[in-house]
Amino acid sequence: MAVDLNNASPLAWDSATLDADTKAMLDNLQPNILRAHVREHLSVLFVRFNDVAEGKAFLRRLATTRMKSARKHLEEVRDFAAGRRRGTPYVGVGISKAGYRDLGHSVEDVRKFGDKVFRDGMKRRVAEVADPPVDQWEPTYQREIHAVILIGDAEQETVTELRDEIAGDLPESARLLGEETGQGMRNPAGDGIEHFGYVDGRSQPLFLRDEVDKEPKEHWDPAFPLSNVLVPDPFSPDPDRHHGSYLVFRKLEQNVRAFKEIEQELADGLGLTGADRDRAGAMLVGRFKDGTPLTSKRKAGGGPVGNDFTFDADPGSKCPFSGHIRKTNPRSFGREVLMARRGQTYGERADQPWDDSPPEHRPSGEVGLLFMAFNSSLVRQFEFTQQSWVNNADFENPATGHDPVIGQGERDIKVTFPKVWGKPEMSLPQTQVGQTVTMKGGEYFFAPSLAYLRNL
Ligand code: HEM
């Protein structure tokens, strides 16, 4: 029997009564899909194989000697929480359409991947998502990438060692096309943040009973069926029990200086003073820097970062319709669009994102987000979000504007912002804020089942 991916109840993965198919699924699934893996330090390798037999042998060795299953990961998390030993590092693999072809799969075979966008590859989707032309991407991403290898751990040393071992094991015929280094950032409260200084990674679709149980759910149900992220792995020995997930990877550079200038200009333009000035940036993101949702509170602060809210009672007078988190998750509909985000920040900077340095002391490039997300359909999830919501100035309500954080394409309309939190009075129409996030390249991958990799 196949695993029921549409089952609405979260997975009780360590229940004694778990059925054999679901157990097999967890034993053959890569970690970091159903639950985020620690990847405070992250190494990302982009590889091209060039030889079928050697490429296969490399991946088989990687899977059998270095990769653990989703179930092993979940057991490690449970043991760590119980005060027992620390977990082992994360090694994940994604293969591109070109990679599957290079590993010997025929064109017909590759059509077994239901996702057309995966079969096209990111370079052919520039027009749909308004990405910069491929010749403006960083050189690594302009090349034909066959696979991505993700290596993550809490310790830098562990990642460096493992990265060297894995890169050293690449066959002569393969090429390491390029690599990225991710490095988590935390604010003084210990919450993970991105380079603009805002708490990130708080809202996620949750698939596991133990994670769902920890969340309040009066307004927002954080539980999602596995079908949001898993699909049968078409090339595995048993696709009913062996699953994979489509992985979108995008290097997104952040111009922090420009974003900080925009925050100040917006606050000035709206006449915001004192602590109320923080509302300017919060209107762009939808949360204050400390993660407080703008639709719930007029000010930052007040305990742990909440996620139990909707926008139902907010006609745009608290959180604008364009706010990043409202664009990417309107909450009252579109649950099937939500991806499991697993990105990591990259780049070094001299300032601290939360200090009070003036904008001119902030980085204007070379830092950003290695955006990564697992999908069951790239076309219905990542691309739909970017194209129909984020880049769409009329989404939900006409002329409300692009997503100010990640919107791409011409921002040619005027928009308004609420002058006072929760009151109908709006600002005069003004030009949309400038684009401060630039896509530097990326690719679509499929994270196959371990069963596929071990049998190569
Ligand atoms: C949430 C920043 C790129 C989709 C967030 C949050 C921040 C943030 C600060 C709030 C934390 C949270 O609710 O978990 C950024 C930055 C980006 C970026 C700085 C680029 C440099 C993207 C991209 C997408 C995306 C490319 C998808 C196309 C989402 C989603 C949420 C989110 C779905 C959760 C919304 C919710 O469920 O409430 N992002 N993000 N983000 N972002 Fe982004």
Torsions phi, psi for 276 (to 5 deg)? -65, -15
Convert the pLDDT of each residue in 267-294 to its tens digit.
999 999 999 999 999 999 999 999 999 9
Token pair 């330090």: residue:
41
367 touches ligand 1 (CB under 6 Å): no
Would you kindly state where each structural domain of the chain is located, as residue ranges?
Answer: 20-252+444-454, 255-338+353-373+393-441
Q: Are 416 and 427 in contact (CB under 8 A)?
A: yes
CA dist 405 and 398 (Å) reads: 19
> Quick check: helix, strand or coil at residue 386?
helix
From 19, 164, 213, 240, active-site residue:
213
User: Region 92-96: what's the mean pLDDT?
Assistant: 98
- Pocket of ligand 1 contains residue 32 by CB under 6 Å: no
Ligand 1 atom with the shortest distance to the CA of 193: 9
Of ligand 1's listed atoms, the one at least distance from the Cα of 328 is 33
Instruction: Reply yes or no on whether 412 is catalytic.
Output: no
The CA–CA distances, whole Å, from 324 to 235, 283, 321, 395, 407 equal: 37, 8, 9, 12, 9
Q: Which atom of ligand 1 is nearest to the CA of 195?
A: 19
* pLDDT bucket at 85, cuts 50 / 70 / 90: confident
Residue 91's alpha-carbon distances to 153, 166, 324, 348, in angstroms, are 9, 10, 30, 24
**Those residues with Cβ within 8 angstroms of residue 36's Cβ, 6 or more apart along the chain or in another chain:** 201, 204, 340, 342
CB neighbourhood size of 8 (10 A): 10
Residue whose pair of structure tokens reads 């910069």 in the numeric block? 132
For ligand 1, whether the C-beta of 406 sits within 6 Å is yes
Characterize 284-294 residue by residue with b for buried, 16 or more Cβ atoms within 10 angstroms of its Cβ, and e for exposed. bbbbbbbbbbb
289 C-beta closer than 6 A to ligand 1: no
Does 84 have pLDDT greater than 90? Answer: no
Supply the pLDDT for residue 289: 97
d(Cα 94, Cα 7) in Å, to the nearest integer?
A: 26
**Backbone angle region of 11, left / alpha / beta, with phi > 0 → left and psi within -120 to 50 → alpha:** beta
H helix intervals, 238-388: 256-269, 278-285, 324-328, 382-384
Structure confidence at residue 303 (pLDDT): 83
ipTM for the assembly: 0.99
The yes-or-no verdict on residue 299 having pLDDT over 80 is: yes
